């Protein structure tokens, strides 16, 4: 998709995937540093399976791979990818809310806003008549 708003919305999924992978690496290496753009799901997977590193790494890879794939498909103009990515991202925000970690919840809302702008632009383009 060549539209800059759609492309920008789709790329948020790649940022989420990349920063979550970075956060997971930091967590598994014993660091207390954590970036707010990351996912609660990868943090929980890393913490829950810290003593079973291969399991933690597979779960983290699946989660990060999901967001990378959603970004790739959204970049190609697939509306379903935007919706699926946003739905899972909303669940992730609820995990942070459950633990009362409000900064990531706020950042999830910001990211969701920009992703949703991509959704709205893609829908707008889909409804626009084609030029002759």
> Domain limits of the chain?
4-124
- From CA 38, how far away is CA 100, in angstroms rounded? 16
- From CA 77, how far away is CA 96, in angstroms rounded? 29
Q: What would the two tokens of residue 102 be?
A: 């409000």
- From CA 31, how far away is CA 8, in angstroms rounded? 31
- Tell me the pLDDT of the chain (132 aa) as tens digits: 689 999 999 999 999 999 999 999 898 888 888 888 889 999 999 989 989 999 999 999 999 999 999 999 999 999 999 999 999 999 999 999 999 999 999 999 999 999 999 999 999 998 866 554
Note the pLDDT of residue 108.
Answer: 97
The residue written with tokens 């920008």 in the block is 8
Angle at 120 between CA 105 and CA 82, to 5 degrees: 60
Considering the entire predicted model, what is its pTM?
0.90
């Amino acid at each position: 998709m060549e539209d800059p708003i759609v492309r920008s919305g789709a790329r948020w999924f790649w940022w989420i995937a990349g920063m979550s992978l970075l956060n997971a690496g930091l967590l598994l290496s014993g660091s207390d540093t954590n970036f707010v753009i990351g996912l609660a799901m990868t943090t929980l997977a890393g913490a829950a399976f810290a003593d079973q590193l291969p399991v933690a790494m597979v779960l983290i890879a699946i989660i990060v791979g999901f967001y990378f794939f959603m970004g790739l498909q959204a970049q190609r103009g697939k509306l379903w990818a935007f919706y699926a990515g946003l739905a899972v991202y909303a669940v992730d925000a609820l995990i942070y809310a459950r633990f009362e970690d409000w900064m990531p919840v706020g950042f999830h809302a910001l990211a969701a806003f920009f992703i949703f702008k991509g959704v709205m632009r893609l829908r707008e383009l889909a409804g626009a008549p084609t030029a002759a």
